[in-house]
């Protein structure tokens, strides 16, 4: 079975779980972010919008699973980029990929997104949660939420 096909087979149950139990998953895995959300208002999965940015991605393979529109308790709309990474080993450019998707959402839709990663691999030492670079006159530090299911 090809890596692409195997990944699609593994991702599908996670996507279904996120859709069916989204509030519970957020409250369990990312309680600080979940506390910002008004759960009395409906959330909306933005599959079409996500497909637009994923199709345009050019920096190698990319897998982000869900883009979700929610409402903050104060009434503002926010977007969550939920990425489920299912693989057997660490990936060197994962943090860069998280940054790239976040930037693409902002660039295409003029919406900031909260990026969150759910890591399903078995390597207890691989825990990406930031992407950065620093030059004398320019630098960037992008931090994203990350949980390791191995910890649960």
Give the model confidence (pLDDT) of 88-121 as tens digits.
Answer: 568 889 899 889 989 998 998 888 889 998 888 8
Pairwise CA distance, residues 123 & 62, whole Å: 20
Domain residue limits at 120: 3-151
Pairwise CA distance, residues 45 & 127, whole Å: 26
Number of domains in the chain: 1
Pairwise CA distance, residues 102 & 144, whole Å: 10
Specify whether the CB–CB gap between 119 and 127 falls below 8 A: yes
* pLDDT tens for the chain, residues 1 to 152: 455 444 445 556 777 888 899 999 999 999 999 999 999 999 999 888 888 777 655 444 445 478 899 999 998 999 998 876 665 568 889 899 889 989 998 998 888 889 998 888 888 999 999 999 999 999 999 999 999 988 98
Pairwise CA distance, residues 74 & 36, whole Å: 8
- Quote the pTM value: 0.83
Look at residue 42 and give its three-state secondary structure: coil
Alpha helices in the chain (DSSP H): 3-20, 22-29, 31-34, 47-56, 94-109
């Amino acid at each position: 079975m090809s890596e692409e096909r195997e990944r699609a087979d593994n991702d599908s149950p996670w996507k279904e779980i996120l859709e069916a139990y989204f509030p519970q998953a957020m409250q369990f895995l990312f309680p600080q972010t979940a506390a910002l959300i008004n759960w009395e208002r409906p959330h909306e999965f933005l599959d079409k919008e996500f497909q637009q940015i994923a199709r345009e991605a050019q920096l190698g393979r990319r897998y982000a699973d869900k883009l979700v529109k929610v409402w903050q308790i104060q009434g503002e709309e926010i977007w969550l980029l939920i990425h489920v990474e299912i693989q057997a080993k660490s990936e060197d450019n994962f943090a860069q990929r998280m940054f790239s998707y976040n930037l693409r959402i902002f660039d295409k839709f003029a919406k900031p997104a909260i990026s969150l990663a759910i890591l399903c691999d078995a390597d207890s030492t691989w825990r990406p949660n930031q992407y950065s670079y620093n030059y004398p006159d320019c630098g960037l530090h992008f931090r994203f939420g990350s949980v390791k299911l191995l910890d649960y």
